[in-house]
Amino acid sequence: MQKNKEWFSDWFDSHYYHILYKHRDYQEAEKFIDNLEKYLNLTASDAILDLACGKGRHAIYLNKLGFEVTGLDLSPQSIHHARQFENDRLKFFVHDMRQVWEKKKFDYVFNLFTSFGYFKTDAEHAQAIQSMAGNLKPDGKLLLDFLNTDKVIKNIIPEETKTIDGIAFHISRNVTDGFILKKITFEDKGKSFVFVERVKAIQLLDFMSFFKTAGLYTEQIFGDYNLNPYVAEHSDRMIFLVNS
């Protein structure tokens, strides 16, 4: 890896990332979107931004349901893959979420599946939230889906190995300096690789502060993809629905 790059710009653009995480549940993702569609009462005229969209699984499904969607991601490889699914109402672009994409363009901004918390400083996280707010129309809504930090830390798995496509991914986890770290080591084709995922252990009150600074107010906090209420001790997720 090039040391001058942020970790996510290397790892997310590596095909090994997509091998390790190819088991991700598309049915779960689609059920989540179905639940959001009903709760938010989405309409065909709504403009939706899928921010940090990866290969576009949420954006593609939203478009299949009839919505106009723009997908943005920092990974050129992911966007290259997603663009095969483009049409008049579905577009994908390479973009850094710390910058506004298009001011006051969108009715909804979705940031899903813990696609946040990757930056080194709180100032950068606050900037990203402010940019999300900048993309929203007046009275628009941001839906940010993050892990339940307290539960993840309490139940962290220190060591495990996953063998996928003949590659043994050795994974170690710990919490250091306020970040949840996942070190991934493996060998392939005679070469050794090491990647480290760093997700800031952002607490609920931290998010509330970010939202307030960005001029957003919280409408609801869900605890799972079935949109049950958030319970700090038990919920798997912190899913924030906030308004501009």
Asked whether the predicted pLDDT for residue 206 surpasses 90, the reply is: yes
| Segment among 10-24, 113-127, 197-211 with least mean pLDDT | 10-24
**Alpha-carbon distance values, 165 to 16, 118, 187, 188, 194 (Å):** 10, 27, 12, 10, 18
- Maximum distance among all Cα pairs of the chain, rounded to whole angstroms: 54
| Separation between Cα atoms, residue 192 and residue 27, nearest integer Å | 34
What would the mean pLDDT of 116-135 be, rounded to a whole number?
A: 97
Tokens 């997603």 belong to residue: 82
Stated as kind and residue range, the H or E segment containing 243 is: strand 237-243
- pTM exceeds 0.85: yes
Query: Structural domain boundaries of the chain?
Result: 7-151+203-243, 154-197
134-144 confidence digits (pLDDT tens): 999 999 999 99
Q: What is the model's pLDDT at position 10?
A: 82
Question: What's the pLDDT score for residue 6?
Answer: 83
Which string of b and e fits 151-176 if b means at least 16 CB within 10 Å? bbeeeeeeeeeeeeeeeebebebeee
Q: What is the pLDDT of residues 184-199, one digit of tens each?
A: 999 999 999 999 999 9
Please give the CATH topology (third level) of the domain spanning 7-151+203-243.
Answer: Rossmann fold (3.40.50)
Do the beta carbons of residue 99 and residue 49 sit within 8 Å?
no
Identify the band that residue 17 occupies on the pLDDT scale cut at 50, 70 and 90: confident
In the structure, what pLDDT confidence band is assigned to residue 168 with cuts at 50, 70 and 90?
Answer: very high
User: Confidence band (pLDDT; 50, 70, 90) for 3?
Assistant: very low
Structure confidence by residue, pLDDT tens digits, 26-48: 788 899 999 999 999 999 999 99
Per-residue confidence band for 1, with pLDDT thresholds at 50, 70 and 90: very low
